[in-house]
């Protein structure tokens, strides 16, 4: 998931009058009035050739004939705030979840939708819709068998796009793309690739490993060779304290009967509880993931006042959130259900804190 023209879109949300005309977020260096570079620009400005990284003076030249263009200084605090809200939503949709920048993250959804991509587009649509409704931002999502392909897919469907690449379509999708679309092939690398006859990603398939190694060294050669084949085995990894523990199961049959669903929730509660126990941690936030018989994915979460690691508490909260959802959707039946814990702290630190307070 990658947010569209992120900093500029944040500014459009703060001041909707800026929509529909070129808007540029600038990093002013302060040396003279217009010295500095463009951080990002909305699509209206991009239509005039404006790109991240070009001098502000150049952008002004491109937009000479568009006096209604707006140039704004960066407001990183606001963008970080928006980013946090988006990521709090996104992490409910993947397990594991990995944030890799202010405006991008990866979600492992295999355990949620299964191996066959069934329901993956609905899941992505729900995520897009929730981010748009709650925060107001549009984003683009690529769904693929690995992170490399998902990233390229999201880049090719911008803005407000959704692109699914199934295993059988990998080479057909990758080969015609220009080589610059491959992560790691920057401005300097493009002419080097070109001198080897590589203009498209597919052209890489024509070079043998020896030739690649001679030109790029062993590590990069291996990366290019694999990437051109759509191979990437780097897993989605939780980062730092943002880790979460979760488990999703399929109900024996589709149901909206809380007593029936509770038997599955009991099973999951024990599992996540034991994993917390093993690691000696307590949680503050519990979320449920609810996948309906129409393969629509919903999530609900609750942050509790005091930390917990009680089996009873997990089950209780899980049931409560599920019941609230079922009341809101009286005709919906659930097919799969999951629980996710986050906001961890080690149980030890709590003990020592309470001792200290005594």
Q: Is 104 a catalytic residue?
A: yes
Nearer to ligand TTP, 2 or 98 (CB): 2
Beta strands in 123-172 (DSSP E): 139-143, 162-164
Who's near 206: CB < 8 A, 6+ residues apart?
Answer: 197, 198
x/- letters, 97..126, toward ligand TTP (CB under 6 A)? ------x-----------------------
Number of residues that bind ligand TTP (CB under 6 A): 13
- 15-19's contacts with Cβ under 8 Å and 24+ in sequence apart are 18/70
Residue 11 binds ligand TTP, judged by CB under 6 A: no
∠109-289-122 over CA atoms, to 5°? Answer: 55
Q: Min. distance of Cβ 186 from ligand TTP in angstroms?
A: 11
Bond into 159 cis (ω within 30): yes
Q: Which of residues 96-115 bind Mg ion (CB under 5 A)?
A: 103
User: Do residues 11 and 25 lie in contact, with contact meaning Cβ atoms separated by under 8 Å?
Assistant: yes
Smaller CB separation from Mg ion, 42 or 285: 42
Which of these is catalytic: 12, 44, 104, 238?
Answer: 104
**To the nearest whole angstrom, how small is the minimum distance from the Cβ of residue 228 to Mg ion?**
25
Interaction with ligand TTP in 305-344: which residues (CB under 6 A)? none
Residue 232 interacts with Mg ion (CB under 5 A): yes or no: no
- Both tokens of 299, joined, read 């999530």
Residue 344 near which of ligand TTP, Mg ion, none (CB within 5-8 Å, type-dependent): none
- Structure tokens belonging to residue 330: 């009286």
Number of residues that bind Mg ion (CB under 5 A): 4
Rounded-to-integer distance, Cα 69 and Cα 61, Å: 11
Q: Say if CB 5 and CB 40 are below 8 A apart.
A: yes
With binding defined as CB under 6 A, does residue 71 bind ligand TTP? no
Give the x/- contact pattern for ligand TTP in 153-192, rule: CB under 6 A.
-----xx---------------------------------
Q: How far is CA 200 from CA 190, 224, 228, in A?
A: 10, 12, 10
Whole-angstrom distance, CA of residue 139 vs CA of residue 87 = 12
Contact segment (CB under 6 A) with ligand TTP among 1-9, 125-133, 171-179, 239-247 equals: 1-9
Which residues are registered as beta bridge partners of 112?
Answer: none
Partner touching 322 among ligand TTP, Mg ion, none, CB below 5 to 8 Å by kind: none
Applying CB under 5 A, the residues found at the interface with Mg ion are 2-3, 6, 103
**Would you please indicate which residues are annotated as catalytic (active-site) residues?**
104
């Amino acid at each position: 998931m990658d947010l569209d023209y992120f900093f500029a879109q944040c500014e459009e949300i703060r001041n909707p009058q800026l929509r529909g005309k070129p808007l540029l977020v600038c990093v002013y260096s302060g040396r003279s009035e217009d010295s500095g570079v463009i951080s990002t620009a909305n699509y209206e400005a991009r239509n005039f050739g404006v790109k991240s990284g070009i001098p502000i003076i150049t952008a002004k030249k491109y937009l000479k004939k568009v006096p209604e263009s707006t140039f704004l200084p960066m407001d990183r605090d606001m963008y970080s705030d928006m980013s946090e809200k988006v990521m709090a939503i996104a992490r409910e949709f993947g397990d594991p979840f990995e944030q890799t920048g202010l405006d991008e993250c990866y979600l492992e959804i295999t355990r949620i939708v299964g191996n066959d991509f069934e329901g993956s587009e609905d899941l992505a649509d729900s995520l897009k819709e929730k981010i748009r409704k709650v925060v107001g931002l549009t984003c683009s999502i690529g769904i693929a068998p690995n992170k490399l392909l998902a990233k390229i897919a999201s880049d090719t469907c911008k803005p407000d796009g959704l692109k699914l690449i199934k295993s059988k379509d990998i080479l057909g999708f990758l080969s015609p793309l220009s080589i610059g679309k491959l992560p790691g092939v920057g401005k300097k690398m493009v002419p080097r690739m070109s001198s080897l006859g590589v203009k498209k990603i597919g052209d890489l398939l024509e070079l043998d490993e020896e030739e690649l190694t001679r030109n790029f060294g062993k590590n990069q050669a291996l990366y290019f060779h694999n990437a051109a084949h759509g191979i990437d085995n780097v897993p989605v990894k939780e980062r730092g304290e943002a880790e979460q523990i979760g488990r999703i199961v399929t109900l024996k049959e589709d149901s909206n009967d809380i007593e029936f669903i509770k038997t599955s929730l009991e099973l999951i509660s024990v599992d996540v509880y034991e994993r917390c126990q093993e690691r000696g941690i307590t949680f503050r936030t519990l979320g449920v993931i609810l996948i309906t018989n129409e393969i629509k994915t919903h999530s609900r979460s609750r942050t509790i006042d005091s930390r917990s690691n009680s089996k009873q508490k997990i089950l209780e909260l899980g049931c409560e959130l599920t019941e609230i959802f079922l009341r809101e959707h009286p005709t919906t039946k659930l097919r799969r259900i999951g629980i996710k814990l986050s906001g961890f702290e080690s149980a030890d630190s709590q003990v020592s804190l309470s001792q200290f307070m005594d």
